[in-house]
């Protein structure tokens, strides 16, 4: 079938809204009609060329919708009409990370990213004779997607599509960084740098886990206000300068946990410098492909600090996303607070201009 989709043809160029061809789902695959797709900073890295992927590509990797068709040989767990959230990390179920309970590191993920295909490496997207690529096995800046059935999680009644969409990336990344990468932190100090969709999700996770104090750093007063509503006990305006000094003025011995949700060397450095002895920096934000930051050796050793990365909330999405949906329905994860402006598919570029301009709240594209 043909459908509208937002295509990236080369880095630096705007997305083009085009009629493209979508092949029917193959074995183990499903077709989903997209109801909402989140405007995530990760796509922006590919639009600017910070990170490369096979081109041309239909972008979009956090989305939700309704199953319209099943390919042959699906497991039977999913049916036409089911509501699902999309995952940009599938789990094959057979590789070592999958078997050992770390499906975020499933070996099919990098393969899918490198080939621009689905699990078998081939694409269902084309335009006449031209092959188009999937983005992280999803490509939901489009009216429909064909994805592996291993790339979706069922969404319960009562969870709106835009909440389901952002849960599949920003929310699970931020909440999971606390619940999985940090773990037990009741009464511990947690610093969160960056109050975008991921950072605010970490604030909610930290609040849920009973962390105290919860210190949030951003340059935008409106984002800091949201952070306070979501459980931040202290906010720091980084535009006033000397973030580390401001944090240490409040907590002279430093913080036990620091979550960096931006992906910049300067803020990673600040997060590291704010750590108390035996404190841990959890790096969550993605940077440019060749970005680095310097760790002072003696400070690392003498203070027994730790630096860890957390991808996709270090989650087991099949277990963690249903939990997130239930916590939302129970009123314990106020995810509505994350939602920003809505844009039609035709305005995908405007949605990213707003993101680059520091818009508050997670924008959502409604195809
Ligand atoms: Zn994302
Ligand atoms: Zn796997």
pTM of the full structure: 0.95
Q: How far is the CA of 291 from the centre of ligand 2 (A)?
A: 27
Q: How far is the CA of 39 from the centre of ligand 1 (A)?
A: 8
**Which residue(s) pair with 63 in the sheet?**
37
Ligand closest to Cα of 43 equals 1
Within 10 angstroms of residue 120's Cβ, the number of other Cβ atoms is: 15
pLDDT at 302: 98
Please provide the DSSP assignment of 226-295 as one string: HHHHTT-SEEEEGGGS-HHHHHHHHSTT-EEEEEE-S--HHHHHHHHHTEEEEEEEEE-----TT-----
In order along its 367 residues, the chain shows pLDDT tens digits of 999 999 999 999 999 999 999 999 999 999 999 999 999 988 999 999 999 999 999 999 999 999 999 999 999 999 999 999 999 999 889 999 999 999 999 999 999 999 999 999 999 999 999 999 999 999 999 999 999 999 999 999 999 999 999 999 999 999 999 999 999 999 999 999 999 999 999 999 999 999 999 999 999 999 999 999 999 999 999 999 999 999 999 999 999 999 999 999 999 999 999 999 999 999 999 988 899 999 999 999 999 999 999 999 999 999 999 999 999 999 999 999 999 999 999 999 999 999 999 888 899 999 9
Asked if 334 contacts 1 with a C-beta cutoff of 8 angstroms, the reply is no
CA 351 – CA 62 distance, rounded (Å): 14
Q: How far is the CA of 76 from the centre of ligand 2 (A)?
A: 20
pLDDT at 358: 85
pLDDT at 289: 87
CA 15 – CA 46 distance, rounded (Å): 11
16-22 vs 2-8, strand pairing mode = antiparallel
- Give CA separation, 50 vs 105, 132, 290, in Å: 22, 20, 9
Q: How far is the CA of 40 from the centre of ligand 1 (A)?
A: 5
Q: What are phi and psi of 45, to 5 degrees?
A: -60, -35
Ligand closest to Cα of 100 equals 2
Q: How far is the CA of 101 from the centre of ligand 1 (A)?
A: 22
Quick check: bond before 56 cis, omega within 30?
A: yes
pLDDT at 154: 97
Ligand closest to Cα of 40 equals 1
Please give the domain boundaries of the chain with CATH numbers for all domains.
2-154+334-366 (3.90.180.10), 174-310 (3.40.50.720)
The dihedral region occupied by 299, where left means phi > 0, alpha psi between -120 and 50, and beta the remainder, is alpha
pLDDT at 360: 82
DSSP class of residue 302?
H
Q: How far is the CA of 298 from the centre of ligand 1 (A)?
A: 35
Q: How far is the CA of 313 from the centre of ligand 1 (A)?
A: 11
CA 201 – CA 198 distance, rounded (Å): 5
pLDDT at 38: 96
Q: How far is the CA of 91 from the centre of ligand 2 (A)?
A: 5
Q: Token pair of 182, please?
A: 């940090």
Q: How far is the CA of 201 from the centre of ligand 2 (A)?
A: 26
Ligand closest to Cα of 286 equals 1
């Amino acid at each position: 079938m043909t459908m509208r989709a937002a295509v990236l043809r080369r880095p630096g160029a705007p997305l083009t809204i085009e009629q493209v061809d979508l092949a029917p789902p193959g074995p183990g695959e499903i077709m989903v009609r997209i109801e909402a797709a989140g405007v995530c900073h990760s796509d922006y890295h590919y639009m600017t060329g910070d990170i490369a992927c096979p081109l041309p590509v239909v972008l979009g990797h956090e989305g939700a919708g309704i199953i319209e068709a099943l390919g042959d040989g699906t497991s039977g767990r999913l049916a036409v009409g089911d509501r699902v959230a999309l995952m940009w990390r599938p789990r094959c179920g057979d590789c070592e990370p999958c078997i050992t309970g770390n499906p975020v590191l499933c070996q099919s993920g990098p393969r899918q990213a490198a080939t621009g295909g689905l699990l078998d490496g081939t694409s269902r997207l084309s335009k006449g004779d031209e092959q188009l690529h999937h983005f992280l096995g999803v490509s939901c800046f489009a009216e429909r997607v064909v994805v592996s059935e291993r790339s979706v999680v069922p969404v319960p009644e009562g969870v709106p599509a835009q909440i389901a969409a952002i849960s599949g990336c920003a929310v699970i990344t931020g909440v999971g960084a606390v619940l999985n990468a940090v773990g037990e932190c009741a009464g511990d100090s947690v610093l969160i740098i960056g109050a975008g969709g991921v950072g605010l999700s970490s604030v909610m996770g930290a609040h849920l886990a009973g962390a105290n104090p919860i210190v949030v750093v951003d340059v935008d007063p409106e984002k800091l206000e949201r952070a306070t509503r979501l459980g931040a006990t202290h906010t720091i305006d980084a535009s006033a300068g000397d973030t580390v000094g401001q944090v240490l003025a409040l907590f002279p011995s430093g913080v036990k946990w620091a979550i960096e949700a931006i992906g910049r060397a300067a803020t990673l450095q600040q997060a590291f410098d704010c750590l108390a002895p035996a404190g841990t920096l959890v790096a969550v934000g993605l940077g440019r492909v060749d970005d680095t930051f310097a760790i002072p050796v003696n400070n690392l050793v003498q203070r027994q600090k730790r630096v860890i990365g957390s991808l996709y909330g270090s989650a087991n999405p099949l277990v963690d996303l249903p939990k997130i949906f239930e916590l939302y329905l129970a009123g314990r994860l106020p995810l509505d607070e994350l939602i920003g402006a809505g844009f039609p598919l035709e305005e995908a570029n405007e949605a990213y201009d707003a993101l680059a301009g520091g818009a508050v709240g997670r924008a959502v594209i409604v195809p």
